[in-house]
Amino acid sequence: MRIGVFVGSIRREGRGATIGKWVLDSVADVAGAEFGLVDLKDFNVPLLDVPYMPAGCEGSYPDPEVQRFADAVASYDGFIFVTPEYNGGVPGPMKNAVDHLMVEWSGKPVAFVGYGGNGAARAVTAWRPIVKNFKMRDVENALALNVFGEDAQGEEFAPRPEKAEELKAIVAELLKEEA
């Protein structure tokens, strides 16, 4: 099963890329899965201002950047959304990118790694009904990383060792959801 680690923050100095790499490193030895990075910063997905419904595109989009993003997403069988929390909700750029597509997400399993002061608990809660609209199957448990407290040393991301084991347990749940 191919799992895309979808990093949804586009902040230049944000922690998303660091946490995405940590996720990849932490699950590299998980049997039965191959992992890759889908970093939203690597795509120039425009604001969703299009005269069509993404559901009607069936994987073929007129905008070349959206198509490149769609092709990357379509290449995975499931996802780990690495999400910060912005003002109590999901990050706008990540939600915008998700909304550009339809069939690429449809029916695939998804897990969440939330990071922020409270582990992005409210963002993860907000993501769940969104992914349900795509008929994605979200695993019950999510990994919460407190990057301003116990999972940091000063300004540096420094997760507690047990967090990698928690992540592996979540990935095991994700693999059980394979289509």
In this predicted structure, what is the pLDDT of residue 154? 85
> Residue 112: is it exposed, middle or buried by C-beta count within 10 angstroms (0-12/13-18/19+)?
buried
In this predicted structure, what is the pLDDT of residue 179? 55
For the stretch 160-171, pLDDT in tens is 999 999 999 999
The tokens for 172 are 């095991």
In this predicted structure, what is the pLDDT of residue 125? 98
In this predicted structure, what is the pLDDT of residue 95? 98
Is 113 in a helix, a strand, or coil?
strand
> Is the entire prediction scored with pTM above 0.75?
yes
In this predicted structure, what is the pLDDT of residue 9? 95
Measure the CA angle with vertex 79, ends 78 and 80; round to 5°. 150
The count of domains in the chain is 1
Show the low-confidence residues of the chain (pLDDT under 50): none
CATH number at residue 13: 3.40.50.360
CB 167 within 8 A of CB 27: yes
For the stretch 101-131, pLDDT in tens is 999 999 999 999 999 989 999 999 999 999 9
